[in-house]
Amino acid sequence: MSSSDMHKNPDSFGLAADRHLETASSVSWENSPKEPFVTRFIDSFKPYQLEDDGVDTSHMTEMEKSIYATARHPLARRLKSRHLQMIAIGGAIGTGLFVGSGYALFLGGPAGQLIAYILVGFSLYCVVNALGELSVQFPVSGSFNAFFARFIEPSWGFTIGLMYALTWLISFPSELVACSLTIQYWNQSVNPAVWVAIFYVLICGINMFGVIGYGEVEFALSIIKVLAVIGFIILGVCIICGVGDQGYIGGKYWHNPGAFNHGFKGVCSCFITAAFSFGGIELVALAASETANPRKSLPKATKQVFWRITVFYLVTSVIIGCLVPYDNDSLLNSDSQVNSSPFVIAIRSAGIKVLPDIMNVVILISVVSVGNSSVYGCSRTLASLAVQGLLPKSVGYIDRKGRPLVAVMITNIFGLLGFLAADAKHQSNVFTWLFSICSLAAFFTWASICLIHIRFRMALSAQGRSTDEVIFTSPLGIYGSIAGFIILILIIIGQIWISIWPIGVDGASNVTFWKQCLSLPLLLVIWASFKTYKRTWNLLWIRLVDIDLDSGRREMDIEVIKQELADERALLKLKPLWYRVSNFFC
């Protein structure tokens, strides 16, 4: 069945799957309340039974079966608009911002850090808008992880999806270690393994409540993190203007020791730190497949990313650059990650007593939040790959509460590596090499998202269709994705260069390259191995005319969609200018 056949007769394939999606979204995902609690609890782990929709899949190609399966994957649609809004605004604010920004400040100076954050931030604004357009159009299981195989080709989909899952898989035990190190700010007498165990049970327990557990916890934690950042911005402005022991600071640290450190290499070195700071910004699209009404909630959440990038990263970066000089010894030589936080350094330098402890609480909350997101992001990605037939089918097991149970358990088991915190002698080397596996994975994932959006728009044109049938269009259009793709590729090239000729080393460094770019050869090996296994070396790209533009859509009547979108645009034109500007950004 070709893509054109599906377009002519959508009920034969896509609409049947969409009927299932509508049914799944209305399922309570709970057993009958009349049954005893123990019975309901045990039954909740049993597999979800998909209804037979009457579609004959025997004549479908592997790609068509994969698309059909992701459209019918029974993840619970229990997230509400408020969950998605807070996940978009503060879901991934973590140690990358509160602690990692200090390392970026040391490497590139205040101007170098700001330039890196602007470039990565702009490229991610393009990424999220492209992802918003695709995820509203096709709210399928796995979101962009399913789109890679659909719009590029299956081998690339498997490779990037697996690398993305590995990123979160490695992040989980790392955040557990970070939790134990953060607690040591107050108490160093307790074995770190005790704190790892406590937070391990906490995060695993949260995710056993399914998507609603993740959503509610992220909603609460994100509010705290957002308030903390806003509070720091206000406090930072006050300190810069003279409130504090240092008196008026202004922009003196931009002159002495200077705006840049380590020149162009310093700027390039900030990109990886910026990537870890922005990491998780794409989770809002991954969560869309578990949202009751992605058409309404996802566009709003996508627009919030602009404010998150502008306020939480760029403004904060400027303030940190004004408050802390890049040659401050505490940025690198502190006895804990908390003491190396530029937020804590700035507050202490101002002579404020209690706030460092409060800031440490915020850092701890952020670490728990990122650990929670790690389990969510990894489990949903693994389940999506399994549904596409790219991993064993058992990994995609969904229970009656809509939880990808096996994928969650795999992530939880890998989290046991966090107990390496008990052996402080070896944990640094272990996690350095673990993170080298996924060092560039984020950039490849984001660049691939831009690429699938470009190919989606090109496929519309190649098949004689227009953006009039696209429910939500990226305000930056295809040109935003092209710009984002180019910037991200240049950043990858810059990272390879800086890893071969790193800062502070005369000549090339073999060790630094493998520590920072191990993900590059690993990515190529996985891609080549999968193509060899599937014997698909003759397929480098899916032809534009063969790309499926219909399966998995929530609304299949294209004429109705066009009319609804036209009515919405006409109504928007009648609104005052301030409302239209607000609607564009918010």
3-state secondary structure of 223: helix
Summarize pLDDT for 147-205 with one digit per residue, the tens.
Answer: 998 999 999 999 999 999 998 998 898 888 888 878 887 877 888 888 899 999 999 99
Q: Residue 439 domain-assigned? A: yes
Amino acid in the structure at residue 553: R
C-alpha neighbours within 13 Å on the C-beta side of residue 208: 11
Q: Residue 311 domain-assigned? A: yes
Q: Exposed (0-12), middle (13-18) or buried (19+): which is 335, by Cβ within 10 Å?
A: exposed
Taking phi over 0 as left and psi of -120 to 50 as alpha, with beta for the rest, 474 belongs to beta
CA distance 154 to 69: 14
Least Cα distance to 28 among 68, 72, 76, 81 occurs for 76
- At residue 53, the pLDDT reads 60
Amino acid in the structure at residue 160: I
- At residue 266, the pLDDT reads 92
Q: Residue 575 domain-assigned? A: no
* Count of domains forming the chain: 1
CA distance 403 to 382: 12
Length of the chain: 586
**CATH code of the domain containing 157:** 1.20.1740.10
In this prediction the pTM is 0.86
Q: Residue 586 domain-assigned? A: no
- At residue 464, the pLDDT reads 92
Q: Residue 269 domain-assigned? A: yes
- At residue 226, the pLDDT reads 87
C-alpha neighbours within 13 Å on the C-beta side of residue 189: 1
Q: Residue 148 domain-assigned? A: yes
Written as six digits, the tokens of 394 are 């058992």
Q: Residue 583 domain-assigned? A: no
Over the chain (586 residues), what is each successive 10-residue block's mean pLDDT? Answer: 45 46 45 64 68 63 63 66 74 76 90 93 91 87 84 93 91 85 82 90 90 86 89 92 87 92 91 84 78 76 76 88 90 67 88 85 89 90 87 86 88 88 60 73 94 96 89 90 96 91 80 84 93 88 90 64 73 80 69
Q: Exposed (0-12), middle (13-18) or buried (19+): which is 507, by Cβ within 10 Å?
A: exposed
Q: Residue 188 domain-assigned? A: yes
Adjacent-strand bridge partners of 47: 399
Range of the domain at 240: 3-555
CA distance 233 to 130: 30
Cβ pair 422, 194 in contact under 8 A: no
| Dmax (CA) of the chain | 75
3-state secondary structure of 194: helix
